[in-house]
Chain A
Amino acid sequence: MGIFSIVNGVYVMAGSLLLGALGGLLGVFAVLRKQGLLGDVLSHAALPGIVLSFIFLGEKNLPILILGALVSGMISALLIDKIVASTRIKMDGAMAVVLSWFFGIGILFLSYLKRMENVSPSGINDFIFGQAAGMLQLDVVLIGTVFGLGVLHVLIKWRQIKLMIFDRNYAHVMGVNHRFNEVLLTVIFSFGIVISLQAVGVVLTAALFITPAVTALFLANSLWATVLWSVTFGMIGGVTGAYLSVMYRDVPTGASIVVVLSLIFILVVLFSKKGFLMKMLEGFRYRVRVSYENAVLSCYRMMESGDCPEMTVKKDLVKGGVLVKLVAWRALVKKKLVKFVGGQWVLSKGGLEFGRKLIKKHRLWEVYLANKLSMDAGKVHLEAEDMEHILTDEMVVRLEKMLGNPKVDPHGKQIIS
């Protein structure tokens, strides 16, 4: 059974796609303005408005419901503002107070509604738990309109919004009417939240506006790229989640969309170029390189001082953690820095050359520290221990030139050019 064999399958898919895009777009600005959880408050605070319009109308009339939700959401936002402005209670406390209070009122109204005889409250559960499967053409048009408004606002006011996010005071000085822009952005944001409730549900709507945005912020470097990524992630999450929930009838849409969005977040945070695993891998690679370079260096030094003229490389020259040692030794063999001759490992010709290059970096840096930075000759060795792994060939050439082709290091050891 394909998804499009369901009567409203097209609307469900289109609506979820637009919903994801909407959340992605508005979420970026909400998260950057530290209003991520405001979405959570607004979605919970919409409940009394929804239930009240149900009570008065006695039936499900989408535009009126959304209006009710919007009004009670707005009142909650104003109340938070007032509490923060006039008491010692801070933002998070005010949010917790208003969120739970409004939701409690909503539940109270709901219990009243359930007792009324001529009203069926079945549509309300959709708002609390989310059910995209019931999406109709009207929903899609509404979501599309809000998304269009959002895109329009962002495009027209791009410069002002960017300035406002970057530095409110600066934006003010620059003559940007940030109050107007902020209010407009918040109004569109509330619209977006309210319109998502039906598909995603009260608890999980916030995720639609937070998760893709944070994922994109982790990945991208400019605001443009962030917005584009965020919208993309939102759309993928929306469509995939909605598809799963329609295919497996008993899976609520909100939950499946949010699970998909969270999976994208986890993947990006772990495996993207800036991801934690990639960072760890990078660090590991560096430790491996330091480890085998040090092994070559100590072998070279022993040869130079005549302790070990046959250049034997024992495995215990390779230092570091178990895994680092293992990989570093493999690197030595693979890069042909060592070779197996007469029953033992010795430094190859390439290894010898490599060691010479490294020792040159080390000693040049020592000279630089001692002569140019006037550091104590006794201290320079330790500093050079790190730098020998970082200096590039080009830097060596320039360093040598600047130092006037020195022949010995501060300890009197030879520098071979």
Chain B
Amino acid sequence: MSILIIVFLAAISCSLLGALVFLRREAMLVDAISHAVLPGIVVAFLIVSSLSSPFFMVFAFLFAFLAVMIMKFLATRIRVSKESVIGIVFTAFFAIGVLMISRVAGNVHLDQDAVIYGSVEFAGFNRLELFGVDLGPRAIWSLGVAVLLNFGFVTLFYKELKTMIFDEKFAVSIGMPVRFLNFMILFLVTLTAVVAFEVMGSIMVLGLFALPAAGGYLLSRSLMGVLVYAVLMGLVGSLLGFWWAFAGDLSIGGAVITVLGGIFVMIWGLLRFMLWFRKG
């Protein structure tokens, strides 16, 4: 049961933020960030050797921020397309992370499998204890915080975000805190990716960000619409995926992503069919 809650929370937090990122056409940036945090996570692990520390988050964010800064720097200096720059930077970060893991594998309980596959199945056993009191699975707490932060951010800055997505230069010109908002988006994406990564694995996190957002984007033309549809789709997809995985003893992350992709294709096909039907 607690696993279902964990998956729900991951879906809500990722799809909320995913909608923003998707509309800003930075979906592949999430992919890059979710990989670039790896060396940060390893470093934090080496220092505190446990995942239940804010330390962990700080290092992950530092590395994600560093990666994004390097990308921005290179994008203005090197005359190749932006996506090639993304490709260079995140693979370099990830490779360093993998090397670090392999060199210190003996001391650290962190292996490559967990990075790629995630381990939502075991998240229920990893409990948060404070002053000796068992407060339930830690992932519920960390993802809960991510949901609250993302929800708060979107509601608080809804108008600004809407303007910014529509036209960033205009938003700057009417005095909106665009730099701050960009920083916040980067920060929240990193935070959400790191918290969700633990349960979903680094690649399927991208699916939780991109798939509901893409579905919502097909269904609605307003930011509110995309956000609502994305979260709905995230919830439906994770419920069905969880049920499927539970019934068939399969990977929960894989099942959730597979179902979400299926929903996306269904929405896409349905819209095509309606278009064709209306035209006669």
Query: A: which residues have CB within 8 A of B?
Result: 31, 34, 36-37, 39-40, 44, 83, 86-90, 92-93, 95-97, 99-112, 115, 125, 128-129, 202-204, 206-207, 210-211, 213-214, 217-218, 250-252, 254-256, 258-259, 262, 265, 269, 276
Contact = CB atoms under 8 A, between A and B. Distances in A.
A362 B140 CA distance: 73
Given A36-B83, A203-B35, A256-B99, A104 B256 contact: yes
Interface residue SS majority, chain A: helix
B80 interface: yes
A100 B257 CA distance: 7
A87 B267 CA distance: 11
Nearest to A279: B77
B197 to A, nearest CB: 13
A49 B256 CA distance: 19
Nearest to B105: A250
Interface in B95-132: 95-96, 98-99, 102-103, 105, 112-113, 116-117
Nearest to B117: A107
Contact of B214 (A97, A107, A252): A97
Interface in B61-93: 74, 77-81, 83-88, 91-92
Contacts of A93: 22, 25, 27, 210, 213-214, 217
The residue in B80, B96, B103, B272 that gathers the most chain A C-beta atoms within 10 A of its C-beta is B80
B95 A262 contact: yes
A255 B84 contact: no
A352 B237 CA distance: 82
Contact of A204 (B31, B95, B249, B253): B95
Contact of A31 (B30, B84, B249): B84
Contacts of A250: 102-103, 105
B204 interface: yes
B249 A103 contact: no
Interface of B: 22, 25-28, 30-31, 35, 74, 77-81, 83-88, 91-92, 94-96, 98-99, 102-103, 105, 112-113, 116-117, 201-204, 206-207, 209-211, 213-214, 217-218, 245, 248-251, 253-258, 260-261, 264, 268, 271-272
B254 A107 contact: yes
A40 B86 CA distance: 11
B264 A101 contact: yes
Given A97-B261, A254-B98, 4 more contacts: A103-B257, A255-B96, A255-B98, A269-B78
Contacts of B95: 204, 207, 254-256, 258-259, 262
Nearest to B264: A97
B80 A31 contact: yes
Contact of A99 (B91, B206, B272): B206
A259 B91 CA distance: 9
Contacts of B250: 108, 111-112
Nearest to A34: B81
Nearest to B252: A111
Contact of B258 (A96, A99, A105, A258): A105
B2 to A, nearest CB: 20
A95 B203 CA distance: 13
B28 A104 contact: no
Contacts of A256: 95, 99
Contacts of A36: 80-81, 83-84, 87
The residue in A44, A88, A258 that gathers the most chain B C-beta atoms within 10 A of its C-beta is A258
Contacts of A254: 95, 98
A105 B261 contact: yes
B105 A104 contact: no
Nearest to B215: A97
B87 A210 contact: yes
B70 to A, nearest CB: 10
B203 A111 contact: no
17 contacts: A90-B25, A92-B28, A96-B209, A99-B203, A100-B207, A104-B254, A105-B258, A107-B204, A203-B116, A204-B95, A204-B98, A207-B95, A210-B84, A210-B87, A255-B94, A255-B98, A265-B92
Contacts, number: 202
B264 A206 contact: no
Contacts of B251: 107-108, 110-111
Given A87-B268, A92-B83, A262-B91, A101 B261 contact: yes
B86 A37 contact: yes
Contacts of B27: 92-93, 95-97
Given A92-B27, A252-B112, A87 B80 contact: no
B91 A207 contact: yes
A110 B207 contact: no
A110 B116 CA distance: 12
Contacts of A129: 98, 112, 116
A211 B31 CA distance: 17
A207 B87 contact: yes
A101 B88 contact: no
A44 B255 CA distance: 16
A402 B116 CA distance: 73
A101 B260 contact: yes
Contacts of B201: 107
B204 A103 contact: yes
A104 B78 contact: no
A95 B254 contact: no
Contacts of A259: 92, 95-96, 99
Nearest to B201: A107
Contact of A255 (B86, B102, B264): B102
Contacts of B103: 250-251
B26 A207 contact: no
A290 B113 CA distance: 58
Nearest to B259: A104
A346 to B, nearest CB: 45
B136 to A, nearest CB: 26
A81 B102 CA distance: 38
Given A96-B28, A96-B30, A218-B78, A34 B98 contact: no
B206 A106 contact: no
Contacts of A202: 116, 203
A101 B83 contact: no
The residue in B105, B254, B256 that gathers the most chain A C-beta atoms within 10 A of its C-beta is B254
Given A100-B211, A204-B91, A37 B28 contact: yes
